[in-house]
């Protein structure tokens, strides 16, 4: 597609519920990133894929967070047993190269609200 597509746009989850957030990167983009943006703050790195390989997951806040990109294109971020502190906008970005020198294209994000 022309841009990075994320779904759903908004998600309200009850505390303790599992959620899955989807990211469709730009076709052919090698690198894919997930970021978490709390209200009024800058995005914070969660995890990074190069094709299907998850090369860095150091930003995942707990073992309740899990991400995958099995075929090197679409990625899913899963959060198990959601907590109120998980409420944030989750942003996905992709890049056509491994070095990032062409920049990164961001999706519109998924706003997760845990009640």
Partner 1 sequence: AQSVTQLGSHVSVSEGALVLLRCNYSSSVPPYLFWYVQYPNQGLQLLLKYTTGATLVKGINGFEAEFKKSETSFHLTKPSAHMSDAAEYFCAVSEANAGNMLTFGGGTRLMVKP
Q: Between 19 and 49, whose beta carbon lies closer to partner 1? A: 49
Q: How far is the CB of 81 from partner 1 (least distance, A)?
A: 26
Residue 62, number of CB atoms within 10 A of its CB: 11
Q: Between 54 and 80, whose beta carbon lies closer to partner 1? A: 54
Write the secondary structure of 18-82 as one string of H (helix), E (strand) and C (coil): CEEEEEECCCCCCEEEEEEECCCCCCEEEEEEECCEEEECCCCCCCCEEEECCCCCCEEEEECCC
Q: How far is the CB of 107 from partner 1 (least distance, A)?
A: 5
Footprint on this chain of partner 1 (rule: CB under 8 A): 4, 6, 31, 33, 35, 40-45, 48, 55-56, 59, 91, 93, 95, 98-101, 103-109, 111
């Amino acid at each position: 597609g022309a841009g990075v597509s994320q779904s759903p746009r908004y998600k309200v989850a009850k505390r303790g519920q599992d959620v899955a957030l989807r990211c469709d990167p730009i076709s052919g983009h090698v690198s894919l990133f997930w970021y978490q943006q709390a209200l009024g703050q800058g995005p914070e790195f969660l995890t990074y894929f190069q094709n299907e390989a998850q090369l860095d997951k150091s930003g995942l806040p707990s073992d309740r967070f899990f991400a995958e990109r099995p075929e090197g294109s679409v990625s899913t971020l899963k959060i198990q047993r959601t907590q109120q502190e998980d409420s944030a906008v989750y942003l996905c970005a992709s890049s056509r190269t491994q070095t990032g020198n062409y920049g990164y294209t961001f999706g519109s994000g998924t706003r997760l609200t845990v009640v």
